[in-house]
């Protein structure tokens, strides 16, 4: 794995850090962000903020949780908007009600039932942080650690983290490398690599919250969403899979053609899956002709601005969350509250609770193997 990214590191080792590190007093072109507000020490490690730019898009990344703090994309008339929810400082992230904003998620994204799984005959117990289940790697998951910045230039940043044996109850020393890259074609590519010295479950993703009209700029329910999935994962009242994927035919979960996100939400009081998720908070089994290939997963269009986001991934599934738990208690980097159903997460992933679900693809990484997967968020205008 190290050979895979060594060339990249060497090529940028002497590059000048991008604009947000040059002068902490400047207001950045990625919003009102200032580097000085992201410089602190957490558990003995330094945090910072880095700006990447290529083509027509700009993103700001902090190594605290490997978070996407900001992502600016143009609209139909050339005006840009910040389409990812984020905060103005590390302190704001530490004090946020919603802890996963923009973060890298691991070791295992989504839920593990009752925080337990059995591997090679041994039962492992994980901390419960989404009663009664374990969610997104636990309270000390990858969202809540400081990543090492291995390399950075104007268009890419390489982050690395060693998750030690026993961290959050998981077995094995897991070495993780994540690379964010902006292409000249207005693509944000996220590449994930990992190796381990003991068998362990791994399911990495990013938890950006999107609103293509701009951060805290109204409902997402008018966004047009298409998901390339004939089936979704039915869940119980604690959002644990019932054991199999079911057809989207005749259900509010049919997004195979563009549909306003809010079109079927009037059924929330009568649809059991809506009741369980308090709306959309479900995994979709992507239609893939060949496993592990990168292919189209979903498209979102915001009609008024014309902003379009397409998602391509090697992953077999996509979690769509419709902002059902946002309650206005968090105030973002533009001074506006994050309100109910004004943002969405579209997390590429393996299936929820996979270690306990015999019908789902395995997420076990073994010594000598390499976890290697990529996801692309491509921005355009229509």
pLDDT tens for each residue of 243-290 = 989 999 999 999 999 999 999 999 999 999 999 999 999 999 999 999
CA distance 23 to 306: 34
Chain mean position to CA 191: 12
Structure confidence by residue, pLDDT tens digits, 20-71 = 433 333 334 445 799 999 999 999 999 999 999 999 999 999 999 999 999 9
pLDDT confidence of residue 3: 46
Q: Is there a contact between 53 and 154 (Cβ–Cβ < 8 Å)?
A: yes
178 pLDDT more than 90: yes
If pLDDT is split at 50, 70 and 90, which confidence band does 117 have? Answer: very high
pTM of the model: 0.92
If pLDDT is split at 50, 70 and 90, which confidence band does 210 have? Answer: very high
Q: Which fold has domain 1-221+307-382?
A: Beta-galactosidase; Chain A, domain 5 (2.70.98)
pLDDT confidence of residue 183: 98
Fill in the DSSP letter of residue 21. G
The CA-atom distances, in angstroms, between 306 and each of 62, 105, 223, 379 are 28, 30, 10, 10
Beta pairing, strands 241-247 & 229-235: antiparallel
**Domain ranges within the chain, ordered by starting residue:** 1-221+307-382
From 192, 177, 173, select the one nearest 367 (Cα to Cα).
173
Q: Active-site residues: which are they?
A: 207, 347
* High-pLDDT (> 70) share of the chain, %: 92
């Amino acid at each position: 794995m190290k050979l895979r990214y060594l060339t990249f590191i060497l090529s940028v080792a002497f590059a000048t850090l991008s604009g947000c590190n040059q002068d902490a007093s400047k207001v950045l072109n990625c919003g009102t962000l200032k580097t000085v507000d992201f410089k602190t020490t957490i558990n003995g490690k330094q945090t910072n903020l880095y700006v990447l730019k290529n083509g027509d898009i700009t993103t700001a990344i902090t190594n605290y949780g490997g978070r996407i703090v900001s992502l600016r994309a143009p609209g139909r008339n050339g005006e840009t908007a910040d389409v990812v929810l984020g905060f103005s400082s590390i302190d704001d992230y530490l004090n946020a009600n919603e802890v996963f904003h923009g973060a890298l998620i691991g070791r295992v994204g989504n839920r593990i039932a009752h925080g337990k799984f059995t591997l090679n005959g041994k039962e492992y117990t994980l901390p419960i942080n989404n009663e009664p289940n374990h969610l997104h790697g636990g309270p000390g998951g990858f969202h809540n650690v400081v990543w090492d910045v291995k390399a950075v230039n104007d268009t890419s940043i390489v982050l690395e983290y060693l998750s030690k044996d026993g961290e959050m109850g998981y077995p094995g020393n897991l070495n993780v490398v994540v690379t964010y890259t902006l292409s000249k074609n207005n693509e944000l590519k996220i590449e994930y690599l990992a190796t381990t010295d003991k068998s362990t479950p791994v399911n990495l993703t990013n938890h950006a919250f999107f609103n293509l009209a701009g951060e805290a700029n109204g409902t997402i329910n008018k966004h047009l969403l298409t998901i390339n999935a004939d089936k979704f994962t039915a869940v119980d009242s604690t959002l644990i899979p019932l054991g199999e994927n079911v057809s989207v035919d005749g259900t509010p979960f049919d997004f195979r053609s563009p549909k306003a996100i809010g079109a079927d939400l009037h059924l929330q009081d009568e649809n059991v899956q809506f009741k369980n998720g308090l709306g959309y908070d479900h995994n979709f089994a992507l239609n893939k002709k060949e496993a592990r290939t990168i292919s189209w997963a979903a498209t979102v269009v915001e009609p008024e601005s014309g902003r379009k986001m397409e998602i391509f991934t090697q992953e077999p599934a996509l979690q769509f969350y419709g902002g059902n738990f946002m309650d206005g208690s968090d105030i973002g980097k533009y001074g506006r509250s994050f309100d109910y159903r004004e943002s969405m997460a579209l997390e590429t992933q393996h299936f929820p609770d996979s270690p306990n679900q015999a019908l789902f693809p395995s997420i076990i990484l073994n010594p000598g193997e390499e976890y290697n997967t990529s996801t692309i968020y491509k921005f355009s205008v229509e």
